[in-house]
């Protein structure tokens, strides 16, 4: 949730109009879903497209959550063809990673959050507001500025 919030804030800081923000947010959302392993699972991605899986914050969330759940003791008690049920589910989904990937996923999600927040701050710093200012200033105050 925090990574997604940071990502959309970063997109909004660069795409400051309603139309550009809608297009930018939709493209960021589509790329996150496409490369995150939900639309195309990692095991079905062509080799030239697998780099996108590792660039998507959603994939790290998925690795962390599924590894934490399916590598728990309750999933390792049941064996199918000599393989634990939890491990078999992860293998079928193409998420058969070691248990330490949970911590790698947490670090990657924190890194994405930091990256998007820095991008958000830079975007607000360097971009100018499109159009004119809509601040309301009284005529008396306006004459003091001249």
Q: How far is CA 22 from CA 7, 9, 121, 130, in A?
A: 14, 12, 20, 16
- Average pLDDT of the residues in 64-85: 90
The whole-number pLDDT of residue 42 equals 83
Taking Cα atoms as reference points, which of 15, 106, 3, 6 lies closest to residue 64? 106
- Residue 136 counted as domain residue: no
- Residue 142 counted as domain residue: no
- Residue 138 counted as domain residue: no
- Residue 67 counted as domain residue: yes
- Average pLDDT of the residues in 49-60: 91
pLDDT in tens, 76-100: 898 988 899 999 999 888 888 888 9
- Residue 35 counted as domain residue: yes
Query: For the chain, how many structural domains are there in total?
Result: 1
- Residue 145 counted as domain residue: no
Sign (positive or negative) of CA dihedral 16, 21, 27, 32: positive
| 85 φ, ψ (degrees, to nearest 5) | -60, -45
The whole-number pLDDT of residue 146 equals 56
- Top-confidence residue, 135 or 47: 47
- Residue 132 counted as domain residue: no
- Residue 140 counted as domain residue: no
Residue 134 pLDDT greater than 80, yes or no: no
């Amino acid at each position: 949730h925090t990574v997604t919030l940071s990502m959309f804030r970063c997109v909004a800081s660069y795409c400051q109009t309603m139309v550009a923000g809608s297009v930018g947010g939709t493209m960021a959302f589509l790329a996150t879903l496409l490369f995150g392993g939900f639309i195309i699972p990692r095991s079905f991605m062509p080799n030239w497209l697998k780099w996108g899986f590792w660039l998507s914050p959603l994939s790290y969330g998925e690795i962390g959550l599924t590894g934490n759940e399916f590598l728990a003791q309750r999933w390792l008690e049941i064996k199918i063809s000599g393989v634990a049920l939890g491990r078999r589910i992860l293998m079928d989904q193409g998420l058969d990673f070691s248990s330490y990937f949970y911590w790698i996923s947490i670090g990657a999600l924190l890194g994405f959050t930091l990256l998007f927040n820095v991008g958000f701050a830079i975007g607000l710093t360097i971009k100018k507001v499109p159009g004119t200012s809509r601040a309301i200033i009284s005529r008396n105050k306006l004459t003091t500025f001249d």
